[in-house]
Amino acid sequence: MPDYKAPLRDIKFVMSELLDSEQHYANLEGAEDATPDMVDAIIQEGAKFCEQVLSPLNQVGDKEGCTWSEDGVRTPTGFKEAYKQYVEGGWPSMTASPENGGQGLPESVGLVMSEMMGTANWSWGMYPGLSHGAINTVEMHGTEQQKDTYLSKMISGEWTGTMCLTEAHCGSDLGTLRSRAEPNADGSYSITGTKIFISAGEHDMADNIVHIVLARLPGAPEGTKGISLFIVPKCLPNEDGSVGERNAVTCGSIEHKMGIHGNATCVMNFDGAQGWLIGPENRGLNCMFTFMNVARLGTAIQGLGAAELSFQGSLAYAKDRLAMRSLTGPKNPEGPADPIIVHPDVRRMLLTQKAVAEGARAMIYYTAQQGDIVHQGKTEEARKEADELMGFLTPIAKAFLTEIGCEATNLGMQVFGGHGFIAEWGMEQVVRDARIGTIYEGTTGIQALDLLGRKVLMTQGESLKRFTKLVHVFCKENADNEQMKEFIEPLQSINKEWGDLTMKLGMNSMKNRDEVGAASVDYLMYSGYAVFAYLWARMAGVALNKMADGTTEESFYNAKVQTARFYFKRMLPRTRTHAESMLVGADSLMDMQEDAFAF
């Protein structure tokens, strides 16, 4: 398994130089503590925890997995102790509101910690990651009593949280869920049903687990308009806030999975468990979107983390592994062969990984800044604009980054050749762990329908125009910059084409709604490459300015420009295939009769 090293220089580049985080935090309400020195100290300490505590447990978790018994689920060796250190360090409370015991830092600061934790050990990072979404849901939709009962314990990390949506007969189609909630005389509800694929649903790392559960009330309307949201704790809290008697919720089994073995993915049985309604009746799905949007951006981090960890492993190996001679003559004449990093195809794989990881970091941090403005912006106008921009970017970040993150892990494994297929190197684990990212929190197809159908076409393209206007302004500002020409011209072209393609798809969908589903994944991938082009052009611009001003880090900034150049020449052309595919129409998919699929 690669030894994770937090990419602190690149994190600083994206935060401070590309996105001007200092000015960003100064423009937020209540972010006074997010000074450059404070943020830097947090990230430095977080890096140590991730490198020294979490990374060594990554392969341990994969090999041991979680163990189920009637008494509960035991996590892999070291996981519980690492979580104790995490809580003692105050990390869970970093971005929560001070009113409930949090430190009140912007969400984007916490997201950097999430990136480092997820890259060092994704399975472990899922335990506190799920809690974060549960905390946000209770903060936004819970009653004062619910906040008093649960928030301080969850924010401190003493208790963890989950989201319980999926049932065996329904995955993303939540309108068909069957779990039910019967009113009790004391104002609580009796929750009955079975949920599957519940990450961190049962474990030994915290004293209590607070489940956020979707269920139906008696007489509720059919479909998604009849779903309510409930708090169902593993153990019922006593009046003094301590853990009381066990609730009627149990883990029936844990799933045997392709990857993320260190995280318990549970079948949860609710047998008349006592729960409390969150938010209005039959509006549970609306409230749950608070949780789901947080989880979707969190899942985007998995694409980034997988690419980063795989790149770190394959880069070190490529520098060390000797095989064959360079086609242009020996580069290691004293040795029996040259290091494989001299070979063009290995360079192609490494540069793809690097472009993916660093581009993903820029996309996620940029999207997270919009989230900061949504929650802490100083004007209603700023909050509204950021909310709409974040809504547009989130499905792209979730689906595009997990898809190309998987590609990056496979390239990392390929750099190792046959050794990549062997477990002891750890590269195949990164591939297995990353694969789930394209599935949970809404598959790539679901995210693509959300982007094209809901976010773009249902707004008559306004959400897209909001982003393409930013790109247009950037291109206009750099129109006379000769050094930026190689980036600006293709960026202008794809920005215009993006709008043209959208208009054509909108016209096609008016004739046949299947056109949306047929084009949606290609549209999302095209959109991802277009967003990357904007961000890589911006990164190249920052780097060129730094070198023009004079710097002691010439190598770092030159590498940024060269990676941007690689992206524009080698990866952005992929949009050609996606553009052609999305316009070919639904007939090639839908004309075949179902019985013709038989073999």
Report the distance separating Cα 427 and Cα 315, nearest Å.
12
| SS3 label, residue 554 | helix
Tokens of 415: 């750099």
DSSP 3-state of 114: helix
Asked if residue 516 lies in contact with residue 586, where contact means CB atoms within 8 angstroms, the answer is no
CA distance 380 to 50: 37
Which residues on adjacent β-strands are paired with residue 163? 212
Respond yes or no: is residue 441 known to be catalytic.
Answer: yes
Residue 167 neighbours by CB distance under 10 Å: 19
Distance of alpha carbon 595 from the chain centroid: 38
Q: Where would I find the beta strands (DSSP E) of 86-227?
A: 159-164, 180-183, 189-199, 208-215
Whole-Å CA distances, 229 to 219, 429, 515: 15, 36, 34
State phi, psi for 168 to the nearest 5 degrees. Answer: -60, -35
Q: Which of 115, 308, 403, 441 is catalytic?
A: 441
In angstroms, rounded to a whole number, what is the distance separating the alpha carbons of residues 446 and 100?
35
Q: Under a CB-based contact definition with an 8 Å cutoff, are residues 275 and 164 in contact?
A: no
Contact in structure between 104 and 98 (CB atoms under 8 Å): yes
Q: Long-range contacts made by residues 146-154, C-beta under 8 angstroms, separation at least 24?
A: 146/231, 146/276, 146/278, 147/100, 149/237, 149/241, 150/210, 150/231, 150/233, 150/237, 151/96, 151/100, 151/101, 152/100, 152/101, 152/241, 153/208, 153/241, 154/92, 154/210
Residue of 219, 368, 353, 350 lying closest to 281 (CA atoms): 219
Tally of residues, the chain: 599
Q: Are 176 and 140 in contact (CB under 8 A)?
A: no
| DSSP 8-state code for residue 2 | -
What is the distance between the alpha carbons of residues 80 and 326, in angstroms, rounded to a whole number? 48
CA separation, residue 386 to residues 14, 290, 301 (Å) = 19, 16, 20
How many helices and strands, by DSSP H and E, does the chain display?
20, 11
CA dihedral 541, 524, 588, 506 (to 10 degrees): -100
Tokens found for residue 268: 């949860």
**584: number of Cβ within 10 Å:** 12
User: In terms of Cα–Cα distance, which of 287, 304, 426 is closest to 354?
Assistant: 304
User: CA separation (Å) from 137 to 24, 294, 343, 454, 531?
Assistant: 25, 10, 50, 23, 29
Q: Catalytic residues, which ones?
A: 441
